[in-house]
Amino acid sequence: MLRKNKRKLHELKGTIHYCWPVTSKSKVYKNQPFYSLEIKSESLLGSSKQTIYVFPNLVSKAVWKTLEQENYEGKKYLFYCEKRVRGWRLKEWEEIKE
């Protein structure tokens, strides 16, 4: 019997520094487009760069549409992500109004 492990969601606060579309070459996600985000995350210890992967089947349509239209410039977000071996996977985000 297979069980899916529920991963803990982590909160990262920051701005999107770079965003670029990628097409997967692995057998599991063959030809599935996804986005790779490089964010500048803000923490108590200072700022650092993090890589977040965004898959269309894991995020809401509003998030995907925002990335396609590039409407994320100059905005702060609170990212809800799962930690993976090669980086973070985005589940949801909230825009932080200041």
List of domains in the chain: 10-96 (2.40.50.140)
Largest distance between two CA atoms of the chain: 48
Q: State the pLDDT confidence band at 78, using cuts at 50, 70 and 90.
A: very high
C-beta pairs of 22-28 under 8 Å, 24+ apart in sequence: none
Round the average pLDDT of the chain to a whole number and report it: 83
Residue 52: both structure tokens together: 């977040």
What pLDDT digit, counting tens, does each position of 23-69 carry?
766 655 666 788 889 998 887 667 788 889 998 888 999 998 998 88
Residue 3 has pLDDT above 60, yes or no: no
Task: Record the pTM.
Answer: 0.80
